[in-house]
Structure 1
Amino acid sequence: MCFFDTKAARAFSLQRLNMRCVEGHRHHWSNRLAAFKEHNVRFHVIAPKQRTGAARRLRLTVAASLPPDDRSDAEASKRRAMEDELRDPKNFLEFFLPRPLRLAFFGASAASCLIATLLTAVRLVQSPALELAEGTAPRDLIVNLIGLATFASLYVYDQQQAQARIERRREIREAQIAFGDREVFVNDKGEKMSRLKEVNDDWILRRLERWGRRDGMPFIGPAKGAILQQLVADKRPLLVVEVGTMAGYSALLMAQALPPGGRVVSFEKDLTWLLVAKRFMWQASQGEKNAGLDTRVGDRVQVEWGDAREALPRALRGGSDRIDLLFLDGTPREYLAYLKAAEPYMAPGALVVADNAGVFAQGGLRPYLEYVRGSPAYRSELVACKLEWREDVEDGIEVSTYLGGPAGAKEAEGGSAREAAVA
């Protein structure tokens, strides 16, 4: 169960978006009209193709295909919606006041108001002149009657809704059993029971996608997330550094694709998002799926609080660890500073992946793109894709290969000369 305030999250996301949308590039992330149904879009990333000569560039061919809208897809979507509806309370109040507590609170409050009303009435009957002269008894009687009526009404209303809730949950449980999302078992007492699918990293990712699509959260999204996951799977990095954790969606995606012994170090400057991400990482490590792993998925992610430019040496154990993949997903105008801060810790051949290289290409990301595309220490290419949750906005991911300082620069210069001679 995820204890999170949707309204507060929306406020935090707007604050974060205002920081990210620089130089007038304020895009309407909250538009919920998405033509792609991300749960049904399948992305296939073909391995990098190498050109002849030294001027080799990374090429990613991304093919997207939408499966037919058949009955199985509709049933899968309905199953997921039912599962989320049953797991998530409809409002934030239910997190703090579950139904038993609500009934106890309403009942006790109504009883106390009833007792106070009776005591005030007795005082009025015994000493009407004195009580009327002081004027407190009539006022107390009215207040107590209002409280009695209010709490009694809330108690009765909650009781009346109980049967409707029971019936709705029964329908959902039966549908989930039919869909295979619940398993039926017999407990120690011989009673036939059913239990919902466990919470693990897959369920947390699906929940974050649902949240991102509904509220326009600036998560990387399933489309770009599939590309990022494939890059991690192909590179097999032992150390991934991410700048901009937010809720931890992209960190979890990368953690799923890590090889044995790999880890993700993710930096977040906002303390609120840091706590949210740590909560989701803990939940992602639950369930039987993680029980058989050497390292649980959520435990592969180390979330650090602070500016990555200052916290990198501490998080990388004094610089003894080398970065195999750097993912930049923070404030676009700070990407170049983050990259230069990370370069001393990057291994030759490391990948640098920068999100939103399309929407911010002429804004906050321009200095960064000029640097990685013009520097002999990098081979860089843009992978075109759509903005998360928006099919009508073009975006991209800049994928750069770090050649490794002066040696890499000499290799790139020599390769350019040989290519020119061949031409």
Structure 2
Amino acid sequence: MWLISLSLPLLPTIIIFVYFRYHVKVASLCRRALAWAQSLMRGRVCVKDVHAFVFTNCTHGKADSVLEMFHRYAETHHTLSVGQLTGDMLDEVIKRTHPLMVLELGTHCGYSTVRMLRLLPPGGRVITVETDSVTADLGEEIIMVAGFKHAQFQVLPCSSAEAISSLHSYLEADQSPSEGIDLVLMDHDPQQYLQDLLLLEREELLCPSGCTVLLIKRTRRDDECREILDYVRKEENCYSIRTEFPQMMEIVYRKDVQRREG
């Protein structure tokens, strides 16, 4: 007890010392924990509610009807879908690049997957990755309700790192003439963007003649995509930033450029 009595007058000093020494790390840890908890809770609620609304109100087998129900739901409810504005930008990229093999990190409600699948050229395919198994199952059903078959897409219920490490087996089984992944849509945890890009490089999964990498920006924080953008700007022999919007950034990867210049 006497130790407690002696230490009480020093408590404010101790608190101030700890705050100034560790406040940045503690604040960052708290933000990450809160963001993870919120995304987990919102993701499950969002997918269940959206699934029920879209499934009940859309015309089954019609992708545009499914997308319209997403838009109607978003008018009055929170949703993790990228939304119509970003979706229109995504459409433009798909029409311009004509990707055959697409990797999507973050299935969420299946909205972006449906938007991409309806515009892919014949033989095009989407592999979409979702960490939460409940979200993955419901998102997969939404995609099938839109009229797409498993020959056109596959949902992998695992972490992005696990999915990327196993992608060679899926690409080898695919019959399309693609040299690798033609387009990567990153819409999961921004903290994983750079790590997953580096892993895609190490696994040599990005199409060397040209791969488009789209980064979805969920907030207006300047540091949301800072790590991956710093890396891209440093590796200018392989990467270039083509377009930049408040909600999305388009990066182009070309390994062949490095070979020709070498």
TM-score by length of 2: 0.69
1:15-164 → structure 2 map (5 Å cutoff): 15-16=38-39, 87-88=56-57
Question: Is this contact kept in 1: 2:217–2:224, CA < 8 A?
Answer: no
Distance 1:341 1:197 in 2: 39
Which of 231, 235, 239 is 1:378 aligned to?
239
Q: Does 1:329 align with 2:187?
A: yes
Q: Which SS does the other structure have where 2:207 is aligned?
A: strand
Distance 1:258 1:318 in 2: 18
Q: Does 1:230 align with 2:81?
A: no
Cα offset for 1:381?
3.5
Question: Is this contact kept in 1: 2:59–2:66, CA < 8 A?
Answer: no
Q: Does 1:352 align with 2:201?
A: no
Aligned twin of 2:225: 365
Letter of the structure 1 residue corresponding to residue 186 of structure 2: L
Cα offset for 1:316?
3.7
1:162-311 → structure 2 map (5 Å cutoff): 199-285=61-147, 296=148, 300-311=152-163
Letter of the structure 1 residue corresponding to residue 145 of structure 2: Q
Compared with structure 1, are the counterparts of its residues 297 and 213 closer, same or farther at alpha carbon in structure 2 (3 Å cutoff)?
farther
Q: Which SS does the other structure have where 1:269 is aligned?
A: coil
Letter of the structure 1 residue corresponding to residue 225 of structure 2: L
Question: Is this contact kept in 1: 2:59–2:65, CA < 8 A?
Answer: no
Letter of the structure 2 residue corresponding to residue 369 of structure 1: L
C-alpha RMSD of matched pairs (Å): 3.0
Cα offset for 1:235?
1.1
Q: Does 1:409 align with 2:249?
A: no
Letter of the structure 2 residue corresponding to residue 351 of structure 1: T
**Gap runs ≥5 in structure 2:** 1-35, 44-52, 173-178
Aligned twin of 1:291: none
Cα offset for 1:277?
0.6
Distance 2:60 2:162 in 1: 39
Aligned twin of 2:249: 398
Question: Is this contact kept in 1: 2:60–2:145, CA < 8 A?
Answer: no
Higher relative contact order (CA 8 A, sep 6+): 1
Compared with structure 1, are the counterparts of its residues 283 and 399 closer, same or farther at alpha carbon in structure 2 (3 Å cutoff)?
same
Q: Which SS does the other structure have where 1:346 is aligned?
A: coil
Q: Deviations over 1:81-108 (max 9, x none)?
A: xxx89x55xxxxxxxxxxxxxxxxxxxx
Question: Is this contact kept in 2: 1:270–1:305, CA < 8 A?
Answer: yes
Q: Which SS does the other structure have where 1:246 is aligned?
A: coil
Letter of the structure 2 residue corresponding to residue 268 of structure 1: E
Question: Is this contact kept in 1: 2:242–2:251, CA < 8 A?
Answer: yes
- Greater Rg by CA: 1
Distance 2:195 2:189 in 1: 11
Question: Is this contact kept in 1: 2:106–2:130, CA < 8 A?
Answer: yes
Compared with structure 1, are the counterparts of its residues 199 and 365 closer, same or farther at alpha carbon in structure 2 (3 Å cutoff)?
same
Distance 2:187 2:86 in 1: 12
Q: Which SS does the other structure have where 2:193 is aligned?
A: helix
Question: Is this contact kept in 2: 1:335–1:365, CA < 8 A?
Answer: yes
TM-score by length of 1: 0.44
Q: Which SS does the other structure have where 1:16 is aligned?
A: helix
Q: Which SS does the other structure have where 1:345 is aligned?
A: coil
Cα offset for 1:213?
3.2
Cα offset for 1:317?
1.6
Identity across aligned pairs (percent)?
25
Distance 1:244 1:316 in 2: 19
Question: Is this contact kept in 2: 1:201–1:298, CA < 8 A?
Answer: no
* Matched length: 207
Compared with structure 1, are the counterparts of its residues 336 and 283 closer, same or farther at alpha carbon in structure 2 (3 Å cutoff)?
same
